[in-house]
Amino acid sequence: MTVRLFLIRHGETEWSRVGRHTGRSDIALTEHGRAQAAALAPVLARTPFVAVFTSPRRRAVDTCALAGLGAAAAVLPELAEWDYGDFEGMTAAEIGAQQAGWSAFGDGFRNGETFQEVSDRADRVIAQVAALSGDVALFSHGHFSCILAARWIGLAMQDARRFYLHTASVSIVGSHPSHAALRVMLQWNVVPGVNTPA
């Protein structure tokens, strides 16, 4: 049996709701975010996970608990969001006002993690979980989960600019059903009750 990774973004926070870059800040879920996380529980309960890991940030840990997997979870520090450095707490528009033409995956974050550092961190997560057999739940964050998916399928971390994740979404990466050595994206950005596949 090969491994499948369920990439689960945390529920809504006040900062995610308005587009503030939330890296190392420990922002709590909103009431809506808590409801989003609880809505994940019946969906995730269908899968017998062989391992559950969560970012150390409160928003991810609480999402994991509300989704019914808190008791099985281990904190994996490498699942934390990209460190946004000087741009922590700022919106893209606010950053662009300081640095014309700025983009996250084009310019990065001043005094934050470099492209190489965050890419290497994603690769360390992949190396750790790829040795497992079965389904693994990873509770993390928007940018980092996109980077993790890009690295899983062999793309540069900058290619994650093409991916987007809603809060409290579930995405799955794994192996092609007919070609076990080929890593693929199996499901992307599914939000229970909103765009859940039939």
**pLDDT reading at 198 higher than 50:** no
Can you list the domains of the chain with their CATH numbers?
3-190 (3.40.50.1240)
| Per-residue pLDDT at 193 exceeds 80 | no
Annotated catalytic residue 81: yes
Exactly one of 12, 81, 88, 113 is catalytic; name it: 81
The SS3 of residue 2 is coil
pLDDT tens digits, 16-35: 999 999 999 999 999 999 99
Q: What is the pLDDT of residue 1?
A: 66
- Radius of gyration of the chain measured on its C-alpha atoms: 16
Clarify whether 21 is annotated catalytic: no
Tell me the longest C-alpha to C-alpha distance in the chain: 50
46-88: pLDDT as tens digits:
999 999 999 999 999 999 999 999 999 999 999 999 999 999 9
DSSP string, 79-109: GSPP--GGGTT--HHHHHHHSTT--HHHH--
